[in-house]
Structure 1
Amino acid sequence: MAGKSVVVVGGTRGLGLGVARAARDAGARVTVVARRVEPDQGIQGDATDETFAEKVLADRNPELLVVTAGAVPAMGPLTGQTWETFSTNWHTDVRIAFSWLRAALRTPLAPGSRVVIFGSGAELRGSPLSGGYAGAKATVRLITGYAAGEARDLGIAMTTVLPLITPGTAVGEAAVEAYGKKDPEQFRAGLTSTPESVGAAIMGLATASDPMASAYVVDGAGLRTLENRQ
Structure 2
Amino acid sequence: MNVVVVGGSRGLGLGVTRAAQESGARVTVVARDLAGLDGEQGDARDEGFAAKVLAGVRPDLLVITAGAVPEMGPLTGLTWAEFSVNWHSDVRIAFTWLRAALRLPLAPGSRVVVFGSAASLRGSRLSGGYAGAKATVRLITEYAAEEASALGIAMTTVLPGITPGTTVGETAIRAYAKNAGRTEEQFRANLPDAPPPEAVGRSILGIAAGAYLLEAGGPRPLP
Structure 2 length-normalised TM: 0.94
Q: Is the 8 A contact 1:166 1:191 kept in 2?
A: no
- Residue 83 of structure 2 contacts residue 128 of structure 2 at CA under 8 Å; is this kept in 1? yes
Q: Does the alignment pair 1:79 with 2:81?
A: no
Q: Is the 8 A contact 1:167 1:191 kept in 2?
A: no
How far 1:197 moved relative to its partner? Answer: 1.8
Cα deviation, residue 191, structure 1: 4.0
Using the alignment, how far apart are the partners of 1:66 and 1:203 within structure 2?
A: 9
Is 2:107 the partner of 1:110? yes
Q: Distance in 2 between matches of 1:141 and 1:80?
A: 27
Q: Deviation per CA, 1:169-207, whole angstroms, max 9, x where unpaired?
A: 1100011111123132132233422111211211241xx
Gaps of 5+ in 1: 206-210
Shift of 1:138: 0.2
Q: Distance in 2 between matches of 1:111 and 1:59?
A: 17
1:183 corresponding residue in structure 2: 183
Runs of 4+ in 1 over 3 A off after TM superposition: none
The partner residue of 1:216 within 202, 212, 216 is: 212
Structure 2 residue 39 is matched with structure 1 residue 42: yes
Q: Which of the numbers 114, 120, 125 marks the counterpart of 2:122?
A: 125
1:97 aligns with 2:99: no
Aligned length: 218
In the alignment, the residues of structure 2 paired with residue 132 and residue 85 of structure 1 have an alpha-carbon distance, to the nearest angstrom, of 9
Query: Post-superposition shift, 1:212?
Result: 1.7
Distance apart, 1:38 and its partner CA: 5.8
Q: How big is the shift at 1:40?
A: 6.4
Q: Report the residue type matching 2:100 in the other structure.
A: A
Match of 2:199 in 1: 197
Q: CA deviation at 1:143?
A: 0.6
8 Å CA contact retained: 1:38, 1:44:
no
Q: Residues 221 and 154 of structure 1: is their aligned pair in 2 closer, same or farther, counting only changes over 3 Å?
A: same
Aligned partner letter, 1:65: L
Give unmatched runs, 5+ long, in structure 2: none
Sequence identity (%): 69
Report the TM-score, using the length of structure 1 for normalisation.
0.92
Distance in 2, matches of 1:35 and 1:128, equals 29
